[in-house]
Amino acid sequence: MFGFCPLASGSKGNAIYVGGRSTKVLIDAGLGPRVLEARLSAIGVALKEIDAILITHEHTDHIKGLEALALKGKIPVFSNGETAKAICSLLGQAPKFKIFSTGETFEFGDFEIHPFSIQHDTLDPVGFTIKVESLKLGFCTDLGFATSLVINHLKRCDYLYLEANHQPSMVHASNRPLIYKQRVLSRQGHLSNDECADILAKVAHPGLKHVHLAHLSEECNAPDLALKIIRDKLKENQSTAEVSIAPQHTVGKTIFF
């Protein structure tokens, strides 16, 4: 499939499919192989077609499928050095790594990939921009604060996959422990709906076609609320980009190039 699709997004597991004309990759592998295979099958892709896995950071909801996919399935894993060390420590074994340097563009098959630094409570977390033919895709979740570097990398994207994790009032009202609330709301935590909207106000442009809202908290957010806040902000900025939710338990909206 020439395009991309969220396969799962949220604290229970994360994975995105991105396909060029001859290259197919996953961004993160936070699903078990059976679930991942079923989600890929739903968009007409076989697991055996996946050429590599790009890893954003080492939290379990982004790597829990690696043991089956990378160690047993021998799928190469792209990560930076610090994330690779953390993965080895967690798995007790080393997948077939292809190490990139955060901030340096590299090519893989059809793709020009740029990993950029983000703010999160892991060793060296990254977001990605991927250029395929004339298109630019931006993938950025699991960050508590969008630096000017993040904003600059997300400019001029045709498609964006961007975190809208929580509504602060719902975090405060939840029964979650105080340490959880402090982490989520910190600059090393996750983006709120309004913070996501503020980013989009800075990067929206006439060529932006679609925004997936990702990593929504099932307890501390509501899809309708997130959609309203983001759509209202885009409308204020005269953007006609479509917006959809990247769901946790099924595939999201498929984008065909």
Predicted confidence at residue 157, as pLDDT, reads: 98
| Domain boundaries along the sequence of the chain | 3-256
Predicted confidence at residue 121, as pLDDT, reads: 93
Amino acid identity for residue 8 in this structure: A
Place of tokens 């990254």: 126
Cα 93 from Cα 91, distance rounded (Å) = 5
* pTM score, whole prediction: 0.97
Predicted confidence at residue 246, as pLDDT, reads: 98
Predicted confidence at residue 148, as pLDDT, reads: 97
Contacts 24+ apart (CB under 8 A), 31-36: 31/7, 31/64, 31/65, 32/64, 32/65, 32/68, 33/65, 33/68, 33/69, 33/73, 35/8, 36/7, 36/65, 36/69
Predicted confidence at residue 217, as pLDDT, reads: 97
Predicted confidence at residue 141, as pLDDT, reads: 97
Which residue stretches of the chain have pLDDT < 50? none
Predicted confidence at residue 87, as pLDDT, reads: 97
**Going by CATH, does the domain composed of 3-256 fall within 3.60.15.10?**
yes
Predicted confidence at residue 114, as pLDDT, reads: 98
Amino acid identity for residue 31 in this structure: L
